[in-house]
A and B are shown apart, each in its own frame.
Chain A
Amino acid sequence: SQCPQKWKRIFCTRCNSKRHSRDRCPSVWRVYLLKDDRPKKRKKLILPMHSIYCYNCGLKGHFGDDCDLRRSSRVPNEDGSAFSGDNLTNSLKKEYFQ
C-alpha cells in the first residue's frame, strides 16, 4: 500500500483505460484479422451461449473474466483477457451482456 506507483497517474490514450499507459496498451497486440470485412459477404454472427465456459468456475454461460465467483488464480487480471465479453464484436457484446 506504500507503493509509489499507485499515485502515478496512468492513462491510455489508445483505449482510455486507466490501468496502463499508451505504450503498454494490449490493443497493440490483441488485434484479430477478421474473416471477411466486406459487410455484404459477412454472415450474421451468432453467439453460441451453450458453448461458452468459464475458466474460473468451470460453469457454462459466461467467460472467465466475467465470473462472479472469487478469482481462483493468484495472478491478478487487471487489464482483462481474451476470455471476456469485452473481447467480442459489438453486435455480439449486446447479445452476451443482456
Chain B
Amino acid sequence: SKDEDANILNMDFPWTINRDHSKQKEIADWLTLEIRDFVSYISPNRKEIELRNQTIGKLRDAVQHHWPDANLHVFGSYATDLYLPGSDIDCVVNSKAGDKQSRNCLYSLASHLKKEGLAEDIEIIAKARVPIIKFVEPLSKIHVDVSFERTNGLEAAKLIRGWLDSTNGLRELVLIVKQFLQARRLNKVHTGGLGGFSIICLVYSFLHLHPRILANEINPIENLGVLLIDFFELYGKNFGYDHVALSVMNGKATYLPKSNWKELHPIKSTFQLAIQDPGDATNNISRGSFNIRDIKKAFAGAFDLLTNRCFELHRAKLKDRQGCSILGNVIKYRGKARDFRDE
C-alpha cells in the first residue's frame, strides 16, 4: 500500500513487511513462508502483465507489418513466467523464408521499430554467434532482445512449461536461486555464470532426486525452506562436479558419470558443470559456465549463512525474533517498491 512505499525503498528485504512469521514453531516453516512471500512480492501484478502483453503485441504487429512472412515470438524467462523484475524480454523473429538473420535485416528492422516509436537506445550486435538487436521500448521501459531465425529457445520454453506443471516448488526455488545469483553477478553466461536454463535444470534435478520427494513423503511447496538449504548444501558442498553430469531426458532426472556420456565423447573429468541438453544428447548446455568455482563457493556460503541464521533465531527469544528475516541473509531486493501480487 502507498503509505509504506517510503519504507520499502530503504529496505533490503521488503517481502517481510507486514508479514511476520517469527512465531512459527519450526524454523524451516518460517523460511518456507518467507520464500513464498518473496515470490509473491517479485511476481508481476496484473498491471505489469498487461503492460508486458501490450508491448509484445505492438512489437509483433510491427514485425508483421515490416515482413509479412515473419512472426515475433517470446521465449526465455518471460515465456515461462520465471523472470525477475526488470529482466529483458527475449524475442525471436522467425519467417517462412528463413532469411531474416542477415546484417541488412537486423538494421532494417531496427530502423522500422524506431520509426514506429517502439524502440530507443538501440544496439545492433551483428557479429555475435547469435546476432541480436537490443533496445528499450519507450512506453513500458522494458528492455528487449530480438534474435532471428532460431527455434531452440521456443522449444526450451515449451519443455520448461511442462516441467513447471509437473514439478511442485520448481518455480519458487528457481526464482530464489536466480535472484541469489543475479545479486552476485553469477547469472550471465558470457562471464562464466549460470544461465537461466542451467539454473532450471539444477533445481529440477535436485527436486526429482531428493530422497524425501522420491519417496513421496513431502509436498515441496510446504517444504521450500528446508529444500532451499538442502539445495545449497548439495551444489555448494557435496556435488561431484569433476565426475558427475546431470541429465533430464523425457522428464526423468538422472546423474551420469561423465566418463559414460557416450554422445559427448571424450568428456574430460574436470571441475566443470555438465548438463546434458534434453533436446540434443551431444550438447552440454552449461559448457559456457566456466566460473563454477565461484558459483559453488557462493552456494556453500549461502548454506552457511542460512544455517547459522537458523541456529541464531532458534536460540533467540520470541520477542527478539520479531521483524527478523532468515532469507534476507542470502537475498536482498533493492529497487523500486512493489506491491505484493494479489492472490
Enumerate chain A interface residues (CB-CB to B < 8 A): 23-24, 26, 28-35, 45-48, 51-60, 63-65, 71-73, 75, 77, 81-85, 87-89, 92
Task: List the 6 shortest-distance A-B pairs measured between CB atoms, nearest first.
Answer: A72-B240, A58-B257, A82-B230, A58-B244, A53-B255, A29-B310
Query: Which residues of chain B from 237 to 286 have any CB-CB distance to chain A below 8 Å in the complex?
Result: 237-245, 252, 254-258, 260
Once the chains bind, are B238 and A89 in contact (CB under 8 Å)?
no
A-B contact list, 8 entries, CB within 8 Å: A28-B311, A29-B306, A32-B223, A52-B211, A56-B240, A75-B236, A75-B238, A75-B300
Query: Which residues of chain B from 6 to 56 have any CB-CB distance to chain A below 8 Å in the complex?
Result: 26-29, 31-32
Once the chains bind, are B241 and A53 in contact (CB under 8 Å)?
no
Once the chains bind, are A33 and B222 in contact (CB under 8 Å)?
yes
Once the chains bind, are A56 and B256 in contact (CB under 8 Å)?
no
Once the chains bind, are A51 and B216 in contact (CB under 8 Å)?
no
Once the chains bind, are A83 and B234 in contact (CB under 8 Å)?
yes
Once the chains bind, are A54 and B255 in contact (CB under 8 Å)?
yes
10 further A-B pairs in the complex, CB-CB below 8 A; given A30-B226, A55-B244: A28-B314, A29-B225, A53-B254, A56-B244, A58-B243, A64-B238, A71-B240, A72-B243, A73-B239, A92-B215
Task: Give complex CA distance A33, B31 in Å.
Answer: 13
For residue A42, which residue of chain B has the nearest CB? B217
Once the chains bind, are B216 and A35 in contact (CB under 8 Å)?
yes
B229 at the interface (CB under 8 A from A): yes
Question: Interface on chain A toward B: helix, strand, loop, or mixed SS?
Answer: loop
Once the chains bind, are A29 and B257 in contact (CB under 8 Å)?
no
Enumerate chain B interface residues (CB-CB to A < 8 A): 26-29, 31-32, 208-212, 214-219, 222-223, 225-226, 229-230, 233-234, 236-245, 252, 254-258, 260, 300, 306-307, 310-311, 314-315
Which of A31, A59, A72, A85 is in CB contact (< 8 Å) with B26? A31
Once the chains bind, are B244 and A51 in contact (CB under 8 Å)?
no
Once the chains bind, are A81 and B258 in contact (CB under 8 Å)?
no
For residue B240, which residue of chain A has the nearest CB? A72
Q: A28-B27, A58-B240, A75-B238 are in contact. Are A88 and B256 (CB under 8 A)?
A: no
Residues of A within 8 A of B300 (CB): 75
* Chain A CB within 10 A, most for which of B29, B212, B238, B243: B238
Which of B230, B242, B254 is in CB contact (< 8 Å) with A81? B230
Residues of A within 8 A of B239 (CB): 55, 64, 73
Task: Give complex CA distance A59, B208 in Å.
Answer: 16
Which of A24, A31, A72 is in CB contact (< 8 Å) with B311? A24
* Chain A CB within 10 A, most for which of B243, B252, B260, B314: B243
Once the chains bind, are B226 and A32 in contact (CB under 8 Å)?
yes
Q: Nearest Cβ distance between residue B127 and chain A, in whole angstroms?
A: 39
Once the chains bind, are A48 and B214 in contact (CB under 8 Å)?
yes
Once the chains bind, are A73 and B240 in contact (CB under 8 Å)?
yes
Residues of A within 8 A of B242 (CB): 72
Which of A28, A30, A72, A89 is in CB contact (< 8 Å) with B217? A89
Once the chains bind, are B244 and A82 in contact (CB under 8 Å)?
no
Task: Give complex CA distance A77, B300 in Å.
Answer: 12
Once the chains bind, are B237 and A81 in contact (CB under 8 Å)?
yes
* Chain A CB within 10 A, most for which of B218, B222, B223, B233: B233
Task: Give complex CA distance A6, B76 in Å.
Answer: 51
